[in-house]
Amino acid sequence: MSFRFWRRFQLFPGVTVNLSKSGPSVSFGPRGAKLTIGPRGTRATIGLPGTGLFYTTSLTPPKRSGHRPDPAPPPSPTLTPQLEKALLEQRLNLGRFKRWITPDDEEAFIDGCRELTQNRLTEALSHFEKAGHLPDCAFLAGILALKLGQFNRAASWLQWAAKKADSLGRLFTKYGLTLDIQLPITDTLSACIGPNLRGVLLALVESYQQTAQADAAMACLEKLLALEPNDPVIRVSLAELLMESQPLTPRQARRVVELTGPPDNATPVHTALLLYKARALRHLGLLEAAREVLNLALRRKQDRPEPLLHALRYERALVYEAMGETKRAQNELERLYAEAPDYADVAARLGLRPPGS
């Protein structure tokens, strides 16, 4: 999980500079679809039409031999260190007069945010907990505890923030701050969350999963799904949680198929949904349907994370194997081995490594 505060200004329509402690980055694109190039690599932030929701996925591939290098990103605007520092920190530094008139709990919020920009997480957590009765501070305390691996502590603060969801975001608005939190939802995708009920509940799901409270995590996701039934991020999170059940029951597999809805491959999130749908169909013995879903998912490779494409190919190999199409399964595994020789048990299935080694 990563997070950062930032201030941003627009150079001209469609191009925005984001300033943060990790350095400046430049976002290109209209509202609802942004490509961000900066010190952390290239990421796509894409709005889901009609929902007001966003997801992100990294577009920077791992280093590979035998491939031509990606084209260089457009040059970033030149910013003086003084301008960058002023734009970033102007909202986080309370002068002496402002401290006199700022309530103590809001002062703790600002001080915690400043510590967070300096990556002093323990100090930031202490400030937020001092004002934990404020929903935004409770949210940030929960997020930081989650980041620090203190999962029960995180759950306590996030549960409190959820009870005060109507007031979430008030301090961020008052002080002109935006918080960008990247919360992993699958092995290949992260969701953009912020100080709102959706962000709180998704973070709660993570804390419950880390403490083996699968039922509580499931309940959170079902609540979210009832609030936002068209959010594919929530659906893919719930599908992943169901597929991790051991053993996976036919009822759970059917629920995954229901969650995925009609076939759609518009975004990487939808592609991940297709992967879970195919796995559930294979578990139910509907092999032809599973193959059709995987073929649809693999028709679109551009802008899809490589680990997701590898998972799709591996699943298709398992489907071919279950259908008795040994040659096709072998070909799929060989192609996957050429790209990712350490993926799952591919080498063992090809006889190149003893099983379990």
Domain ranges of the chain: 277-357
Least confident of 111-115, 147-151, 181-185, 238-242: 181-185
Q: What is the pLDDT of residue 43?
A: 52
Q: What would the pLDDT profile of 32-69 be if each residue is shown by its tens digit? A: 334 343 444 445 444 444 434 444 555 444 444 444 44
What integer is the mean pLDDT of 135-152? 93
Which range, 66-70, 73-77, 79-83, is most confident?
Answer: 66-70
For 41, phi then psi, to 5°, come to 100, -170
Q: What is the pLDDT of residue 54?
A: 45
Q: What is the pLDDT of residue 172?
A: 85
Pairing of strands 25-28, 15-19: antiparallel
The more confident residue out of 62 and 349 is 349
pTM of structure: 0.69
Whether the per-residue pLDDT at 192 is higher than 80: the answer is no
337 to each of 59, 96, 349, how far by Cα in Å? 22, 62, 10
Q: Which residues pair with 181 in a beta bridge?
A: 3, 193
How is residue 348 written in tokens? 């063992």
Least confident of 66-75, 242-251, 303-312: 66-75
- What is the overall mean pLDDT for the chain? 77
Q: What is the pLDDT of residue 219?
A: 94
Q: What whole-number distance in Å separates Cα of residue 215 and Cα of residue 209?
A: 9
Whether the per-residue pLDDT at 248 is higher than 80: the answer is yes
Q: What is the pLDDT of residue 105?
A: 83
Whether the per-residue pLDDT at 176 is higher than 80: the answer is no
Q: What would the pLDDT profile of 259-286 be if each residue is shown by its tens digit? A: 988 888 888 889 999 999 999 999 999 9
What integer is the mean pLDDT of 150-170? 96
Q: Are 313 and 331 in contact (CB under 8 A)?
A: no
Q: What is the pLDDT of residue 101?
A: 55
Give 80's pLDDT tier (boundaries 50, 70, 90).
Answer: very low
Q: What is the pLDDT of residue 21?
A: 39
Q: What would the pLDDT profile of 195-222 be if each residue is shown by its tens digit? A: 999 999 999 998 999 999 999 999 999 9
Least confident of 69-78, 135-144, 180-189, 217-226: 69-78
The more confident residue out of 148 and 317 is 317
Give 305's pLDDT tier (boundaries 50, 70, 90).
Answer: confident
The more confident residue out of 102 and 316 is 316
| Domain 277-357, CATH class in plain words | mainly alpha
How is residue 77 written in tokens? 């605007």
Q: What whole-number distance in Å separates Cα of residue 30 and Cα of residue 17?
A: 14
Q: What is the pLDDT of residue 356?
A: 67
Q: What is the pLDDT of residue 251?
A: 96
Helix axes 306-322, 326-339, angle to 10 degrees: 160
